[in-house]
Amino acid sequence: MTETPSPLAPGALDGKRALVTGSSRGIGADTVRYLAQAGADVVINYRNKAPRAQKLAAEVAQAGSRALVVGADLTDADSVGAMFAEVEREYGGLDILVLNASGGMEAGMGEDYALLLNRDAQVGALRAALPLLGEGSRIVFVTSHQAHFIRTTPTMPEYEPVALSKRAGEDALRELIPELEERGIGFVVVSGDMIEGTITATLLERANPGAIATRRESAGRLYNVSEFAAEIVRAAVDPIPADNTRLVGDVSGFAAE
């Protein structure tokens, strides 16, 4: 279960339908938990962690909310299309889409995998979801300060390909804001510092021992998974900032553009 108090009141999302990509574990799973605790019907998306996704769905159902588990590889357009078709059949549409899934540090993937997942697949998922998103709905794109500020602030060499690809994804999604606004769909980027306990942090620590402790010392503190997930959920309901950006955690070490 999540460690942070629920960011929204029970019933705040009654009647709402929310899909979180990459939500079988970590930040995505806690985001699902918070959305469900507030009353939303949730869609748990996974790529290859079906047992974890099913366990989370059982937890959500036990708490009294509906949960739909749908496996999909976001880099496969047919797979994504099938996912949203199933969501439409079961829920009739969506009110909240959280683009949380990302990657690029995994071993054995192609050279262009980070860009394929963090840019192309994000735009593809948003496009595929558009027919399900009505006026007043909200899209949240989850990223990191190391990616959001990559054009002005260097990051660790081990993370740079991921950071560049995630920033490319953010830029590609931002280009769609005028179209989304015409449809009455809100869009916000949630950018966080390194998050304690995530797969990315673990991989970075493995590649660059001491990286997490160094960043924690510089920032003063780092958010944990449940704390960051709570900020993502708030971003799904709070008024959208003028620059469509919600910065979570210390940014004093990053130079704005």
CATH number of 17-194+223-248: 3.40.50.720
Q: Write the pLDDT tens digit of every residue in 82-104.
A: 999 999 999 999 999 999 998 87
Give the pair of three-digit tokens for residue 140: 């949240």
Residue 108 is predicted with a pLDDT of 64
190 strand-pairing partners = 142, 246
Q: What's the distance, Cα to Cα, between the start and end of the chain in Å? A: 38
Q: What is the pLDDT of residue 222?
A: 74
pLDDT of residue 171: 98
pLDDT at 210: 77
Smallest Cα–Cα separation from 45: which of 114, 94, 7, 92?
A: 94
Residues 32 and 230 sit within 8 Å (Cβ to Cβ): no
Band of pLDDT at residue 63, cut at 50, 70 and 90: confident
More reliable by pLDDT, 252 or 210: 252
Is residue 146 scored above 60 in pLDDT?
Answer: yes
Q: Is the pLDDT of residue 1 over 60?
A: no
Task: Note if the pTM is more than 0.85.
Answer: yes
Domain chopping of the chain, boundaries: 17-194+223-248
Residue 156 has pLDDT above 80, yes or no: yes
| Amino acid found at 58 | A
**What is d(CA 109, CA 118) in angstroms, rounded to the nearest whole number?**
13
DSSP alpha helix (H) spans, the chain:
26-37, 50-62, 77-91, 113-115, 121-129, 145-148, 160-174, 177-182, 199-207, 211-219, 225-235
| Predicted pLDDT at 107 | 65
Q: pLDDT (tens digit, 9 = 90+) per residue, 38-49?
A: 999 999 999 988
Give the orientation angle of helix 211-219 with respect to helix 199-207, to 10 degrees: 110
Q: What is the dihedral of CA 184, 37, 54, 52, to 10 degrees?
A: 100
Which residues have C-beta within 8 Å of that of residue 233, sequence separation ≥ 6?
7, 8, 31, 34, 35, 38
pLDDT confidence of 233, banded at 50, 70, 90?
very high
Per residue in 183-232, pLDDT tens? 999 999 999 987 776 666 676 677 778 777 777 777 667 778 899 999 99
The pLDDT assigned to 67 comes to 97
Q: Is the confidence at residue 21, as pLDDT, over 70? A: yes
